Amino acid sequence: MNGLDRIDIAILDALQKDGRISNAALAEKVGLSQSACSRRLDGLEKSGVIHGYHAKLSNASLGYKMTAIVHISLSGQFEKSLAEFEAAIKRCPNVLSCHLMSGEYDYVVRIAARDLEDYERIHKEWLTAMPHVIKINSSFALREVIDRTALGIRPDHA
């Protein structure tokens, strides 16, 4: 978090709570003029601190009532194998997140499925067809306890 001051942190905190806040309201909230706020926001975007704005959708409301946590092992962690797997997993529309891991499995993938039958389809059509996959271990979430989108940001010196 190099270079973030209390105003940057206030901007980020406000945006995490309401990504649709107008520049005028944001400027008022953080105590800046609209033009100064806009410059700060532009700087946060260009530096990569802010990398997008989106609506958080309800998977269940859209019919995706099941979340699967999938651990995947590849035949090896060669750069080519990782790149080919990662290119393939990005094409699967049901994948919500994918992380390269240390430890027993190479990747942990979070998948949204309509039901067990839909997950079976995803498993057969997508996961087992991915390049270099040698082992798949699936677990199913019983209940979501927390799914944060907001990060508690503190200044570097706090």
CATH number (domain holding residue 25) = 1.10.10.10
Give a yes or no: residue 102 inside a domain. yes
Q: So what's the pLDDT on residue 23?
A: 96
* 125 plus 101 within the same structural domain: yes
* 26 plus 98 within the same structural domain: no
Q: At residue 104, does pLDDT exceed 90?
A: yes
* 67 plus 101 within the same structural domain: yes
pTM as predicted:
0.83
Give a yes or no: residue 73 inside a domain. yes
Give a yes or no: residue 120 inside a domain. yes
pLDDT band at 33 (very low <50, low <70, confident <90, very high): very high
Cα–Cα separations (whole angstroms), residue 76 to 29, 48, 84, 101, 132: 51, 32, 12, 13, 8
Determine the average pLDDT of the residues in 116-143.
98
Segment holding 79, helix H or strand E: helix 79-91
* 81 plus 42 within the same structural domain: no
Work out the mean pLDDT of the chain and round it to a whole number.
Answer: 94
Domain count, the chain: 2
